[in-house]
Amino acid sequence: MIDISRNGIEFKITSVCDEGFSWWNNYNNWEKETFAVFDKYLRSDMVYFDLGTYTGQTVLYASQKVKNVYGVELDIRAFNACSENIKANNMTNIVVDNIAISNTNGYVNCTGKLGGSSRRISNTEGSETESMTIDSLMSKWGVDTCDFIKIDIEGAEEIILPAMDDFFNKHKPIVWLSVHRHYGATADTIVNSLGKIYNTVYDYLGNEVTGNLRNAINSGPPGFGNDYLFINE
């Protein structure tokens, strides 16, 4: 077990996957930009969605800043570890399901090492995992609103964002999106799906890229660091 303390938020880690317990010793230095966004925008009256929880890196933190947390993790090993960490901290405002967020209800193929951080939907290979749309998930959870959504789904944003148009138009949550070009995500899909709904976009360093989003995505790193905040200000 490891005791975590970051920016005044404390929790315990009792279960891990491939990141190992040693990774958590450097948790304070991980994705500082993400936590700066959380600290600035998350509020105690918010409903927070987390698409891609892994072993709890963001839900355990966010749960102490918001009213309720709902998340999905398609990797069964990561889901089990996340569930154990939630239980170890007696966190009653978090619901996480072993589901792949997708554009259809049913089953999808997933590839990438189980327990790794890059398990993802695949159109061509892999093992089957149950999938649900965002609307079906909200119905399952019994929630009718979303104030903030973190999306880190390893390239599946190419499939899922177009299917979430109604969700974004209706709820207009603040969006923290990780773009994975190396797994097939394209700037065109992101601009067409989110650019028409949100009037302000910042990159992960806090630079406004509202009018230059397509170029910012294409010129940014293919993986980590190509993160964007979508908000209506």
Three-point CA angle 151, 155, 156, nearest 5°: 70
Q: How much is the pTM?
A: 0.96
Reference 131, options 179, 73, 78; nearest CA is 73
How far is it, in rounded angstroms, from Cα 151 to Cα 146? Answer: 13
pLDDT at 136 over 70: yes
pLDDT, tens digit, 9 for 90 and up, residues 137-179: 999 999 999 999 999 999 999 999 999 999 999 999 999 999 9
> Quick one: what percent of the chain has pLDDT higher than 90?
91
pLDDT, tens digit, 9 for 90 and up, residues 188-231: 999 999 988 999 999 999 999 999 999 999 998 776 669 999 99
Per-residue pLDDT at 73: 98
Residue 5 tokens read as 């303390």
Which residues touch 173 (CB under 8 Å, ≥6 apart)? 49, 146, 147, 148, 149
Alpha helices per DSSP H over the chain: 20-24, 32-41, 59-62, 76-88, 134-141, 157-160, 165-171, 187-190, 213-219
Are 61 and 38 in contact by the 8 Å Cβ rule? The answer is yes
How far is it, in rounded angstroms, from Cα 162 to Cα 56? Answer: 26
